Structure 1
């Protein structure tokens, strides 16, 4: 637990607090309407037919992309950062997975959620057991899936962009090696035909982090350096995040 002493909000009367709270409520309601409209625009995006075959390794067998749907209409893939050479998964990706609720609620909406990483299956299974997760996790080690959906960056593999922007400096710094980056990709199935409908990266995953959403309701917030007002941070963005079995 941090011993940092942040600056507190100013102290006012209840009447003064209530007046400012009501002003903020107006903005919160407007934001909710804007978010609803944004979600509507996301649903109106066109989609792209998946023509390429991808192979994944699961606990029981090798699978294709269609198998990952588990018979449901929609599939959400979280691109979990786990390089084949690593012994542990990414801490911030682990933080996100810890924030995933019971999958039965997604299943009730005909939607499957799964993790995909490039690390070999035995590493994924060991890490999954360590952190006591029970959601499906597949290895894409033998396919181009991560590269094609820009969750692994390697120019030789045709992947040199992140968050829909070319990253020449990052590519140059890699010296031919591969960088793992986080993201989410969404697919829709119509019979045997699969379509790619959406992908998001970087802070596009912010909405998926329930812990952050709870902290955003508090006076001290996330306590990260980018936030305002200043004086309530004890470190940079996500510097405090640990795997859940590594906190003090």
Structure 2
């Protein structure tokens, strides 16, 4: 028997109408926040960032691909990873579907990671992705946009999501994983770094985020960046889970690269 509250259709309808009022309030507030984002001052970028892409070396302006707006997802895939971060991959699984809609609204979408292009291309083929993915290997881009940190910065406490905090705590927060240790002694950060093929310290040198840019009269401007829980709205699966009967219902680290679900069960069998 279910342990959840049950009731009549009339009781459900009354509670649902009360919830609808709160949902509408949240929607209106979300609209207001979107307008507030758009009123942020634009910051001119004069640094000559260089990227490796499928079509050769590119500048940040080239990533716009003829459009006036660019959205960049800072994908956690460091040079020493053997695979992309699984939570970043879960977010990126949605890019193929909506990138074409953005493109037809004068917005280009690109992922950017520090791993060399060959690694990104191989993982992209494995995942079956077609969206634009550029390598910032050897560039200051990730450092300048607060998604890459040196071992020295990790030791001192990093500046991430507009505040100073230890790297490990920020990663756990950004991925919505509770701080707990499994029976085998492996914590969530160790679990996720293992899927990326690296150790926790190396894994934590890269963190997730997204940044927005505008191209106006040949000049690139930085308009917005968000990190950690600010990425929740981009995570399509979470938006569905938030509407499921048990919500996110998370117990430790659970997500995988989409081609790895069931792999652990198969090994046991």
TM-score range, shorter chain: 0.7 to 0.9
Question: Alpha carbons of 1:8 and 1:177: their partners in 2 closer, same or farther (altered >3 Å)?
Answer: closer
Distance between the aligned counterparts of 1:177 and 1:103, measured in 2? 28
Distance between the aligned counterparts of 1:47 and 1:176, measured in 2? 33
Secondary structure at the counterpart of residue 180 of structure 1: coil
1:108 counterpart = 2:121: no
Residue 255 of structure 2 corresponds to: 241
| Superposed displacement of residue 51, structure 1 | 1.4
Residue 18 of structure 1 corresponds to: 13
1:153 counterpart = 2:139: no
Residue 74 of structure 2 corresponds to: 79
TM-score (norm 2): 0.80
1:205 is matched with which residue: 213, 226, 231?
Answer: 231
- Alpha carbon RMSD of aligned pairs, Å? 2.4
Residue 89 of structure 1 corresponds to: 84
| Superposed displacement of residue 103, structure 1 | 1.5
Secondary structure at the counterpart of residue 138 of structure 1: strand
Moved over 6 A (4+): 174-178
| Superposed displacement of residue 176, structure 1 | 10
Aligned residues: 229
87-96 or 210-219, which deviates more = 210-219
Q: Alpha-carbon deviations, 1:42-100, whole Å to 9, x = none?
A: 11111100011101001231111110000100000000000101110000000000122
| Superposed displacement of residue 160, structure 1 | 3.7
Question: Alpha carbons of 1:113 and 1:175: their partners in 2 closer, same or farther (altered >3 Å)?
Answer: closer
| Superposed displacement of residue 218, structure 1 | 1.5
Residue 119 of structure 1 corresponds to: 115
1:165 is matched with which residue: 125, 146, 163?
Answer: 163
Secondary structure at the counterpart of residue 109 of structure 1: coil
Give the gaps of 5 or more residues in structure 1. 225-234
| Superposed displacement of residue 191, structure 1 | 1.9
Q: Alpha-carbon deviations, 1:187-234, whole Å to 9, x = none?
A: 00002100000000001010011111111111101112xxxxxxxxxx
Q: Alpha-carbon deviations, 1:1-33, whole Å to 9, x = none?
A: xxxx9x652111111111111111111111111
Distance between the aligned counterparts of 2:66 and 2:107, measured in 1? 9
Distance between the aligned counterparts of 1:168 and 1:130, measured in 2? 33
